[in-house]
A = this chain, B = another copy of it.
Amino acid sequence: MTPARSNLRIDSGRLWNAIHETAKFGGTPKGGVRRLTLGPEDKQVRDWFRAACEAAGCEVRVDGLGTMFAIRKGRDMSKAPVGLGSHLDTQPTGGKFDGILGTLAALEVVRTLNDADIETDAPLCIANWTNEEGSRFAPAMMASAAYAGDFTTENILGRLDAEGISVAQALDTIGYRGVDPVGQQKFSAFVELHIEQGPLLEAEGKTIGVVDRGQGIMWYDGRIAGFASHAGTTPMPLRRDALAAFSELVLAIEKIVKDHGPHAVGTVGEIIVENPSRNVIPGDLVFTTDIRSPDGKTLDALHEAVSAAAADIGKRRKVAITLEQVWRKEPTVFNTTLVDAVATATETLGYSNRRITSGAGHDACNLATVVPSAMIFVPCKDGISHNELEDATQADCAAGANVLLHTALSLAGIAD
C-alpha cells in the first residue's frame, strides 16, 4: 500500500444510506426487516442490488440457486477474483444489519475504488448468497453449502418451505433462477463482514473482531407421539402427554448445554402441537433443535447426552420421541493467511480489536472448506440480532467496511 492508498476510506454516509434504503424492502413497524429468502421483498432488494452493482460498473451473474455475483474487473482477468459479501435475506422478524452490512459494505468498497479510480490487479466479486437465514427453507446457508459441494443443486432445488413451495418454484416466481452452474464462480479468497450478533465486542469496547473460528452446529427435527385424550376425564397417571414430555426435553437440553459450557448453546426454536385443542391432551407434536459448540468433540458429547435424555424421557412417559439430526456443520477454522490479512488491515487502520469465535453460522464458514476465507465482526447493540431491535452504529459499520476495503486491496493487489 502506498501512503495515498493507506489513507483511503469508504464513504460512511453512503454506506449508511444504502443500509437504510434497503431496509424499506420488508421493513416492519418496529424498525426491523421481514425479508424471507426468495419472497417478494427479497426480489425487491435483489433488483435494487443488481441495479446498484451495474451502476457501479459490475457485471452481475446469477447461479442456479439464485446467488448473485457482481464482478468488478481487475487488471488481470485470468486471476480468480477476491470475493466479498454476505446475504440480503432476513429472519421473519430480523434486523437491518445482519448480512446486509457485509453485502452493502462490499458494494461500498467497489464504489470507493471507483471514486478513487483504483484498478485492482485481481478482479473483485461481490456475492449475495441465497437463503443464509434458513427460516423459510432448511438448511440455513444452503447456497454456500451447495457451492462448497455439501449438497447437489438438485437436492437444494427440491427443498420445501412450510407451504410446500420448493426452492425451484420460489426462484422461478421471482425470476432469480440463473443459468450459471453452482460453483462455477471461483474465488482466490472470500472475506465476509458481519455484525457480531453477540455481546463480546461491545462489552470489551472493541471495534473490530478478527474472526478466527466458527462454532460447529447441529440441527435436529424432533417428533413426539403420545396419546391424545380428554383433558377432563383422563387421570394424571394414565396420561401419555406429548407436551409434558416435550417440556422435560426442553429443560434437559438447557441443562446439558450448560453442563458443557460456557461456549455450548442449545435452543428449541419451534414447536407445533398437531390438532391442538384447549381440552385435549396433546398427542402428537413436532419441534426443532439447534445445538452449537466451537469444539467437535463437545458436539459429539452433546449429541450423545441429548439423545440419551430423549430416550429416557420417552421411556418414562410412554411416548415415542424421535430426534433426527438433519444437519451437522463442523467447527470452522478460518485460513491463517487471510485472518492475518484482516488483522494487519485492522491494526494499520488503528482500530481496537480482538480475535473472536463466530457463534453464528455464516456463508464464509461453508466457503472456508473450499476457498481461503475469513470474517470481520463489528459490535451490535446489546449483542442482539435476529430481532427487530438489532442495531449497530454508523461508525462501527464504517470501520468494518474500511477493514474490508484494505483487506481486499491487500489480497487483490493494486494494478499500477
Interface residues of chain A, those whose CB is within 8 Å of chain B, are 91-93, 133-135, 138, 140, 196-199, 215, 217, 219, 227-236, 238, 241, 243-244, 246-248, 250-251, 254, 257-258, 261-262, 264-271, 273, 275-283, 288, 290, 292, 358-361, 383-387
Expressed in whole angstroms, the Cα–Cα distance for A411 and B233 within the complex equals 29
For A232, what are the chain B residues with a Cβ–Cβ distance below 8 Å?
197, 215, 217, 265, 290, 292, 358-361
Let me know if A288 and B283 touch, CB within 8 A. Answer: no
Q: Specify how many copies of this chain sit in the oligomer.
A: 2
A224 smallest CB distance to B (angstroms): 13
For A261, what are the chain B residues with a Cβ–Cβ distance below 8 Å?
236
12 sampled A-B residue pairs with Cβ under 8 A? A91-B277, A133-B279, A134-B279, A198-B234, A227-B387, A231-B267, A232-B361, A241-B267, A243-B269, A247-B248, A269-B281, A271-B273
Expressed in whole angstroms, the Cα–Cα distance for A385 and B292 within the complex equals 42
A217, A219, A273, A280: residue with the most chain B Cβ atoms closer than 10 Å? A280
Expressed in whole angstroms, the Cα–Cα distance for A288 and B282 within the complex equals 12
A284 smallest CB distance to B (angstroms): 10
A220 smallest CB distance to B (angstroms): 9
Q: Which of B196, B247, B258, B277 contacts A247 (CB 8 A)?
A: B247
Expressed in whole angstroms, the Cα–Cα distance for A232 and B331 within the complex equals 12
Let me know if A386 and B277 touch, CB within 8 A. Answer: yes
Expressed in whole angstroms, the Cα–Cα distance for A383 and B93 within the complex equals 44
For A385, what are the chain B residues with a Cβ–Cβ distance below 8 Å?
229-230, 233
For A92, what are the chain B residues with a Cβ–Cβ distance below 8 Å?
275-277, 280
Let me know if A251 and B247 touch, CB within 8 A. Answer: yes
Let me know if A276 and B270 touch, CB within 8 A. Answer: yes
Let me know if B140 and A279 touch, CB within 8 A. Answer: yes
Expressed in whole angstroms, the Cα–Cα distance for A282 and B288 within the complex equals 12
Let me know if B278 and A134 touch, CB within 8 A. Answer: yes
Expressed in whole angstroms, the Cα–Cα distance for A230 and B195 within the complex equals 12
Let me know if A235 and B262 touch, CB within 8 A. Answer: yes
Closest residue on chain B to residue A92 by CB atoms: B275
Let me know if A384 and B267 touch, CB within 8 A. Answer: no
Expressed in whole angstroms, the Cα–Cα distance for A43 and B147 within the complex equals 54
Expressed in whole angstroms, the Cα–Cα distance for A91 and B231 within the complex equals 12
For A91, what are the chain B residues with a Cβ–Cβ distance below 8 Å?
275, 277, 280
Expressed in whole angstroms, the Cα–Cα distance for A361 and B230 within the complex equals 11
Give 5 closest A-B pairs by Cβ, nearest first. A233-B359, A198-B233, A247-B247, A231-B267, A247-B250
Let me know if B251 and A279 touch, CB within 8 A. Answer: no
Closest residue on chain B to residue A384 by CB atoms: B229
Closest residue on chain B to residue A254 by CB atoms: B244
Given A138-B278, A199-B238, A235-B262, answer yes or no on A229-B269 (Cβ-Cβ < 8 Å).
no
Expressed in whole angstroms, the Cα–Cα distance for A232 and B248 within the complex equals 22
Expressed in whole angstroms, the Cα–Cα distance for A259 and B346 within the complex equals 62
Expressed in whole angstroms, the Cα–Cα distance for A283 and B231 within the complex equals 28
A70 smallest CB distance to B (angstroms): 27
Let me know if B236 and A265 touch, CB within 8 A. Answer: yes
Closest residue on chain B to residue A231 by CB atoms: B267
Expressed in whole angstroms, the Cα–Cα distance for A360 and B230 within the complex equals 8
Closest residue on chain B to residue A198 by CB atoms: B233
Closest residue on chain B to residue A238 by CB atoms: B199
A94 smallest CB distance to B (angstroms): 9
Let me know if B233 and A243 touch, CB within 8 A. Answer: no
For A247, what are the chain B residues with a Cβ–Cβ distance below 8 Å?
246-248, 250-251
Let me know if B251 and A236 touch, CB within 8 A. Answer: no
Let me know if A230 and B359 touch, CB within 8 A. Answer: yes
Let me know if B268 and A243 touch, CB within 8 A. Answer: yes
